[in-house]
Amino acid sequence: MSLSKSFQFIGTLVGVLSPTLVTFASLPPQLPAQFESKWEVSLKFPNETREREPISSTGGGGSRSINVVSCIEAGETPLKTSLKAVMPTTDLSKTIAENPSVFVYVPKTTAKSAIFIVRDKNGEEVYRSEFVPPETAGIVKLSIAETFSLEIDQEYKWELTLMCNPRNYFAEENKYVEGLFLRTALNAEQQKQLDCVRETRDLQNLLKFPERRHSFSCVRQVPGLQNLLNTVRQSPEQKKLLDSLKQSPEEAKLYVEALVYANAKIWHETIDNMAQLRTAYPDEWQELLASVGLENFAEEQLFDCCTADN
């Protein structure tokens, strides 16, 4: 099956000041620019290479040494024995949220602590949180606290470090992954699409467009959303998916929002919505990750992070 539209992407995330010790809770088993008139409707995020050297995806915290003992346990494949950012392979991704979330694959580790840091364009630390890694390998959702808001059109760098050496953040045995993100804004057309989806009381009927021509004037007033829903219906597989979503207003809302985000090339909100639909619609989750070269991680357990530990 397929989910939504054509887009590329550039990376994102955000920060706040003030350390917070956090714990993990397993997620429940489930899982904008001007409107583009021509796009492939599927949940595939084409990669877009920017004119800059890509930053490190994973590695040690300092100089390498063959005598350093790793705190990461052997995985089923070499691919799963290191931290991995769950995002396109380009060096920047977008978000529209003031306090977005980032998804990272964390292998099974003996480390008792991990530190998540966000830095501004000058390299200054603007957010830090500490948490205990989950007992099993999986994809961790790291959410930025509401005490800080990302600035529009500003790039941020994030880094996640497994504290193999809890006494020294820069110790060579520590393992890390890092990435860049950019907070952006939807254009007027994209915002109209999103507002229509959110304001529609009965999202089941939203998916019945255009069968019910007398319903939901907001859809008819937003050409981009009309075209998006009509294009989705051209695929027998996606039409079947829409018919299934009609049974659940909440899932319908998440799905159509994801279509809007994906068409706008907004990675963080697209994956956040699809993570919530993961169990009910595993094919769509698989397709999204496969489009950014991460199909091998599609069946990994999801963990929600950054709940303050009282």
Q: Beta strand 302-308 with 138-143: parallel, antiparallel or unpaired?
A: parallel
Instruction: Identify the pLDDT of residue 281.
Output: 86
Question: What would the pLDDT profile of 263-301 be if each residue is shown by its tens digit?
Answer: 888 999 999 999 999 988 898 899 899 988 899 999 999
pLDDT(78) > 90: no
pLDDT(36) > 50: no
Taking residue 140's Cβ as centre, other Cβ atoms within 10 Å add up to 27
Residue with structure tokens 């390299």? 123
CB 262 within 8 A of CB 100: no
Instruction: Identify the pLDDT of residue 167.
Output: 93
CB 232 within 8 A of CB 238: yes
| Backbone torsion region of residue 123, taken as left when φ is above 0, otherwise alpha when ψ lies between -120 and 50, otherwise beta | left
More confident residue, 29 or 128: 128
Integer Cα distance of 53 and 39 in angstroms: 29
Give which of 87, 192, 180, 200 is closest to 139, Cα–Cα: 87
Q: What residue ranges in the chain does DSSP mark as E strands?
A: 21-26, 59-60, 84-85, 93-95, 101-106, 114-119, 125-131, 138-143, 155-162, 175-183, 302-308
